[in-house]
Every structure is written in C-alpha cells, then in structure tokens.
C-alpha cells in the first residue's frame, strides 16, 4: 500500500506552504484544502485522498520507511 504520485505532490504542497494549504481529517475522508479567503478563514477542498483511517496510516508508515501492513 503506497501513495500515488498526486498524493505525494499534494502532501509536499501542504508541507511547503502551510499558510495556503491544510489537511482536513474527517472520520471518512481526508482532504487537502486551500485557503481562498484569509480574512474570513474560508477554505476550498482541492484534493481528496483515496484512503483514510487505518489504510492511510499504513501508507504514511510505509512512506517514511517502515514496513507496515494491515493485520
């Protein structure tokens, strides 16, 4: 279970520009949101991850170099 190329690119965008992007975590969805209005703190979803919950955690661990799997 690995991240695809768009997921990696969006993660790096969120890391490199924390004022412009945030990661929103819901119980059934993880997305990257872009700030559209700083004054009113308004955000718009620009990317939705294919996985969430346990699956995304396994992907993250594998991405940072661990040997992770669902059991």
* pLDDT tens, the chain, 71 aa long: 789 999 999 999 999 999 999 999 998 999 999 999 999 999 999 999 999 999 999 999 999 999 999 99
Instruction: Please give the C-alpha separations between residue 63 and each of 40, 51, 67, in angstroms, as whole numbers.
Output: 35, 14, 9
Degrees to nearest 5, angle at CA 47 with 45 and 48? 100
pTM above 0.85, yes or no: no
């Amino acid at each position: 279970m690995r991240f695809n190329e768009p997921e990696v690119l969006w993660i790096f965008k969120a890391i490199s520009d924390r004022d412009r992007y945030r990661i929103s975590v819901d119980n059934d969805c993880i997305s990257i949101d872009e700030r559209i209005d700083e004054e009113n703190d308004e955000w718009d979803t620009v990317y939705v991850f294919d996985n969430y919950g346990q699956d995304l955690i396994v992907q993250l661990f594998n991405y940072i170099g661990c040997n992770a799997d669902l059991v």
